[in-house]
Amino acid sequence: MTEKISDRIPSGERREQILAAASLVFGERGYFGATTDQIAKAAGISQPYVVRMFGSKENLFVEVLARALDKLLVTFNATIDGWKADGSPADQIGRLLGTAYVNLIEDRGILLSLMQAFSMGHDPVIGAQARKGFIAIYTLLRDDAGFEPERVRTFLAEGMLLNTLLGLRLPEEYGLDEAATELLECTFQTKLQMVLDVVGEKSA
């Protein structure tokens, strides 16, 4: 019944439905901990349908990675283009990009699946794609945003801290653990409530 219902959805929407579900499952469970059956259940379709569309778990993960990188790069490019068009001061782009990055938490699987991919450098297929994507982010910040290499390093380090806090589910400790609360407030600042709301929705 589930598969018959999914067949009525246009293929592009159906593909995005699966990739969005896979993004979150891979992000929370890792490549080796996730199964196509778990992803199918999260997407509300049958497991054979997922396999038929993507062929293998590896192919699916590579597409999840490509989706996450594309959304991140598109978001950064749009932010940089807007900054240039507005004629905003040069020192504003770092804050604008940081805000844009935090806003990606609304699709929580994006940042978590990127973190999982970046930990798989040993894999000949996934590792190669992850390295290529990471360098693409670096060069965009350096060449288009005009960051010096040291500033790119700092920006990426802060992004990885944000990913780590999400991966640890530390926002769930907000208000319960003094040190965790302090770190979360320092990291997310004015975006903290949005993060807590998103995490709360996913945990519900």
Torsion sign, CA atoms 4, 5, 10, 15: negative
- 0.85 cut: is pTM over it? yes
Does residue 179 fall inside a structural domain?
no
Does residue 10 fall inside a structural domain?
yes
Q: Name the most confidently modeled range: 13-17, 59-63, 104-108.
A: 59-63
The CATH number of whichever domain residue 90 belongs to comes to 1.10.357.10
The pLDDT, as a whole number, for residue 153 is 97
Give the Cα separation of 60 and 121 in Å (integer): 17
Does residue 200 fall inside a structural domain?
no
Does residue 137 fall inside a structural domain?
yes
pLDDT digits (tens, 9 = 90+) for 133-147: 999 999 999 999 999
What mean pLDDT is reported for the chain?
Answer: 91
- pLDDT-based confidence at residue 198 (cuts at 50, 70, 90): confident
Does residue 61 fall inside a structural domain?
yes
159, amino acid identity: G
Q: Over pLDDT 90: what percentage of the chain? A: 81
Give the Cα separation of 152 and 99 in Å (integer): 15
- pLDDT-based confidence at residue 203 (cuts at 50, 70, 90): low
Does residue 182 fall inside a structural domain?
no
Does residue 96 fall inside a structural domain?
yes
The pLDDT, as a whole number, for residue 10 is 72
pLDDT digits (tens, 9 = 90+) for 50-97: 999 999 999 999 999 999 999 999 999 999 999 999 988 888 999 999
Q: State the average pLDDT over residues 177-192.
A: 95
The pLDDT, as a whole number, for residue 38 is 97
- pLDDT-based confidence at residue 8 (cuts at 50, 70, 90): low
The pLDDT, as a whole number, for residue 7 is 52
For residue 93, give its domain range.
Answer: 2-167
Q: Looking up tokens 């003094």, which residue turns up?
A: 178
Does residue 195 fall inside a structural domain?
no
Query: For the chain, what is the domain count?
Result: 1
